[in-house]
Amino acid sequence: MKQGDKVICIDASNLEIHPSNFDKLPIEGTVYHVREMVPGYDHQGQPNGVKLEEIKGRVRRLICYDGIERNIETHFRQNRFRVIDEIDITHFEEKVVEKTTLNNINHE
């Protein structure tokens, strides 16, 4: 995963317990764009986090594992998202249309 990648949210669980950390929460199955990769700051070897173009996080002052105090924008764990390409998006869009069509037929 890198800056500029298109990603799809695959895990939005438990984010609602901290609603003030973000201007809005991600929705599973929604496509986003990587704004920035964030190096781990809690402990050495921590996986990178990810900031999204479409969602802004609250900025907090934190003491990082190296003892330096920094302003850090709240961001997401990388494993909540999966990098996608245009083929994936097309397939996903086809499934949404198919499901919508089936729902419309079932409600007629």
> pTM of this prediction?
0.70
How many other C-beta atoms lie within 10 A of the C-beta of residue 59? 10
Could you tell me if residue 61 is inside a domain?
Answer: yes
Residue 58 domain flag: yes
Residue 16 phi, psi dihedral angles, 5° rounding: -65, -15
Residue 1 lies in a domain: no
Residue 101 lies in a domain: yes
76 within domain boundaries: yes
Q: Is residue 93 part of a domain?
A: yes
d(CA 49, CA 37): 6
State the chain's mean pLDDT as an integer: 84
Answer yes or no: is 40 within a domain: yes
Q: Is residue 69 part of a domain?
A: yes
Give 10's pLDDT tier (boundaries 50, 70, 90). Answer: very high
Each residue's pLDDT tens digit, 82-106: 999 765 555 566 666 666 666 677 6
* Domain span holding position 37: 6-106
d(Cα 5, Cα 102) in Å, to the nearest integer?
Answer: 32
Under DSSP, is residue 49 helix (H, G, I), strand (E, B) or coil? strand
Quote the number of domains for the chain.
1
Give the tens place of pLDDT for each residue, 40-83: 777 777 778 999 999 999 998 988 888 889 898 999 999 999 99
